[in-house]
Structure 1
Amino acid sequence: MKKATTAGELVEQLIEVGRTAVERGFVLASGGNLSARLPGASEFVVTASGTWLDRLVPEDFTTMTVDGEIVGGNPDPSSEWKLHQRSYRVRDDVNAVIHMHPQHTVLVDALGHPIRLFTLDHAVYVKSVGRTGYYPNGSDELADTAAEQARVHNCVIMGNHGCSALGEDIGMAFRRAMNLEEAATATFRALSLGDTTTEFPEEAWKSLHHA
């Protein structure tokens, strides 16, 4: 996925991501929400309230400022707009936020197990996983705690709810979201086999991240 250079291209890419996310079972019906901005921009586009991610059209996007003001597009943004807005406010380098409800990510976390990273892609793209407790949908508590975790993690799980993946562009954010769910699925399978310790080799991790 090429980096978008216009707001229209951002919307086109988010429409594609929404369709793919539903096809792969990462989200159902009107669950989840997507946003993106151009690098350095003070405005972002976010999916509107009640939209189904596999049926998005350009009219299903709201344009907002990072201060939370609606400045164009659909007048009714997602109830989770604060989650996106506050993540952008704490991360100048982030230009896309993908919020989904992937089954294994939510389940493994709800069962009290950390999501383990097994593969090179997990180690590179996910790298680390933050989490918050459960907070009501659309609440300040959810947005603020997730943004605090986003200061140091590109993947953040919201307990009994879902997760957000952040990136410098839409392609990277979605790549991280997919790798997080793959890591969660692998963790679930490992737990089913009774394994609670296997993960990406420590020495390889140190070499990869120059620790």
Structure 2
Amino acid sequence: MRAPTTRDEVVDQLVEVGRLAVQRGLALASGGNLSARLPDDREFLVTAAGTWLDRLTPADLSVVTLDGEVTGGAGRPSTEWKLHQRSYLARPDVNAVVHLHPQHAVLVDALGHRIRLITLDHAAYVRSVGTVPYLPNGSDELANAAAEQLREHDCLVLSHHGCSTVGPDVGMAYRRALNLEEAATATYRALLLGDTTCTFPPEALGDLRHGPP
């Protein structure tokens, strides 16, 4: 999935990722929301309130400015639009935000365990996991706390809620969400086997300095 250059390409990528996320069980019904900056860099598209990610159409996307003004599209944006807006303000390098409800990532965090990066892909794409304590969904407090964590991490677990992953494009943000949930699933299985230490070799992290494989 290459970086989009037009609004239509942004829409197509959001629609595709919404469908794929539901297929993978990372969101149910109208849970989760997606967004991407528009090419003009002053506005972003975000899924509208109540939309189902596997049924998205261009009419299900709202246009919101970085100042928080709804300027077009579907009208009322997702209740989590502030999470997306604050993410863009905190990270000028980010062009997409994927907020999903992955079961293992939320469960491992709720049980008080850190999500361990075990495979090469986990280490390359997730790199590190930030955690935001439970705060009401759609609140300024949640959006601000997530934005602060994004200064150090590309992948966040929103405790008892979901995850938020970011990237330079929709494809990378979604790839990080996939790898975050896979890392959480691997961590859960390791814990079932009684293991609490298995992780990607720290001495190999330097091999990733040039980017993902």
Q: Same fold (TM over 0.5)?
A: yes
- Is the Cα–Cα contact under 8 Å of residues 7 and 39 in structure 2 kept in the other structure? no
Q: Is the 8 A contact 1:40 1:92 kept in 2?
A: no
Q: Does 1:63 align with 2:63?
A: yes
Could you list the runs of 5+ residues in structure 1 that have no partner in the other structure? Answer: none
Could you tell me which residue of structure 1 aligns to residue 27 of structure 2?
27
Post-superposition, which runs of at least 4 consecutive aligned residues in structure 1 deviate over 2 A?
Answer: 206-210
> Deviation at 1:75?
1.0
Matched, 1:191 2:172: no
Residue 202 (structure 1) aligned with residue 202 (structure 2): yes
Give the TM-score, by structure 1 length: 0.97
Counterpart residue number, 1:100: 100
Aligned counterparts of 1:181 and 1:207: Cα–Cα separation in 2:
23
Matched to 2:85, the amino acid is: Q
The amino acid of 1:180's aligned partner reads L
Pairs within 5 Å for 1:41-120 = 41-120=41-120
CA contact (8 A) 2:155 2:166 kept: yes
Which residue identity does 1:183 align to in structure 2? A
* Distance in 2 of aligned mates of 1:78 and 1:105: 22
Gaps of 5+ in 2: none
1:13 aligns with 2:7: no
SS at match of 2:76: coil
For 1:19-49, what per-residue CA distance to the aligned partner results, in whole angstroms no more than 9, with x for missing partners? 0000110010000000001456010000000
CA distance in 2, matches of 1:71, 1:56: 19
Q: Aligned letter for 2:162?
A: G
In the alignment, the residues of structure 2 paired with residue 190 and residue 46 of structure 1 have an alpha-carbon distance, to the nearest angstrom, of 36
Residue identity opposite 2:140 in structure 1: D
Letter in 2 for 1:169: D
Give the match's secondary structure for 1:5: coil
For residue 181 of structure 1, what is the aligned residue in structure 2?
A: 181
- 1:159-178 CA-to-partner distances (Å, cap 9, x unmatched) read 00000010000110000000
Structural mapping, 1:135-146, within 5 Å: 135-146=135-146
SS state at 2:55 partner: coil
Question: What is the one-letter code of the residue matched to 2:165?
Answer: A
Aligned ranges 1:135-174 → 2 under 5 Å? 135-174=135-174
Separation of aligned partners in 2, 1:204 and 1:146: 29
Counterpart position of 2:132: 132
CA–CA distance in 2 between the matches of 1:200 and 1:188? 15
- The share of aligned pairs that are identical, in percent, is 67
Confirm or deny: 8 A CA contact 2:34 2:99 kept in the other structure.
Answer: yes
Whichever residue aligns with residue 146 of structure 2, its letter is A
SS of structure 2 residue aligned to 1:172 = helix
What's the TM-score, normalizing by structure 2? Answer: 0.96
Shift of 1:2: 1.7
C-alpha separation in 1, matches of 2:206 and 2:3: 30
